[in-house]
Amino acid sequence: MSSPDLSVLIGGVRFKNPVLAASGCFGYGSEMEPLIPASLFGGVVTKTILESRRPGNGAPRIIETPSGLINSIGLEGVGIDRYLDEMVPKLTGVDTRLVVSVGGHDIEEFARLAARLDRVDRVDALELNISCPNVDGGTDFSTDPDLAAATVRAVRRVTGKPIWAKLTPNVSRISVIGQACEKAGADALSAVNTFTGMSIDIHTGRMILPRGAGGTSGPAIRPLALAKVWELVRNVGIPVVGIGGIATGHDVIEFLITGASAVQLGTVLYIDPNSPRTALAGLTEHLASRGMSTVRDLIGTLKGRQERRPHS
């Protein structure tokens, strides 16, 4: 029996498999090459790109927890000019899709960046980081449905590339934000960004991160992220890309059954460089054991109450 077809279609772009590298955890796509070749993934989502170079927040910026990390990187990055000149060429000829994470201090910056990236053939899609918890106002774009929609509309006007809106889980109803993004022209939703968390140094009585709170990721948030994905797939008609504590083949399968069209691996890449290989192997084995010839036969097969809207 031949191996199952793992390809998925998201926003008109075909990915060879549904396992992607998450933004912020895989650099710009080439830095991890000695340990984790980018070609393992169906796609790589870059670190968030801004117009100008940004040093990020002061140290310490990462705290290890018993079940993951709390980070406050603060969108450190090289800026759009250096990204296009130095980083994109390194992925020329690499067999993976390139999804560029785009940030902005305001809607106009999101649009200006999208307009520049629209002219870059190597870029397959844009993920709008409207939900970063580690910069001032970073989550404003995805906690207000009107602001989220306005951002997507502004980007939609300047690019024909697929738009993925990356949503924060730190809201009471994530589907309200998702529906607003869908109506404004988003082709997919990435869910979720990190949950707000903090840690205290009990010896000094001070918060460890200079900003106080940061973004919590890793295994602890996986069930929470899965519930947010479940809410979204029942209420939107565009693909949802699941993110949050995904590490193993079991985790990937769980999100796909729930209705995610693909997933992103993040924190686990720091722990186990072999995780993309083992996750894909686990997914392939599961499909074969169930007699499924394609991963698309698995997506959205959750039994019980779901009332999922079909993709348009």
Tens-place pLDDT, residues 32-63? 998 999 999 999 999 999 999 988 888 999 99
Instruction: Spell out a b/e string for 180-202, using b for 16 or more CB atoms within 10 Å of the CB, else e.
Output: bbbebbbbbbbbbbbbbbebeee
At 200-251, the pLDDT tens digits run 999 999 999 988 999 999 999 999 999 999 999 999 999 999 999 999 999 9
Domain-by-domain residue ranges, the chain? 8-51+78-196+217-297
Catalytic-labelled residue, pool 132, 167, 256, 265 = 132
At 90-103, the pLDDT tens digits run 999 999 999 999 99
Q: What is the pLDDT of residue 74?
A: 86
Q: Is the pLDDT score of 306 beyond 70?
A: no
State mean pLDDT over 278-294.
97
Q: What is the pLDDT of residue 136?
A: 52
State mean pLDDT over 153-161.
98
Q: Which residue has the tokens 């902005």?
A: 104
pTM: 0.95
Active site residue 181: no
Worst-scoring range by mean pLDDT, 105-109, 129-133, 152-156?
129-133
At 164-191, the pLDDT tens digits run 999 999 999 999 999 999 999 999 999 9
Give me the CATH topology for the region 8-51+78-196+217-297.
TIM Barrel (3.20.20)
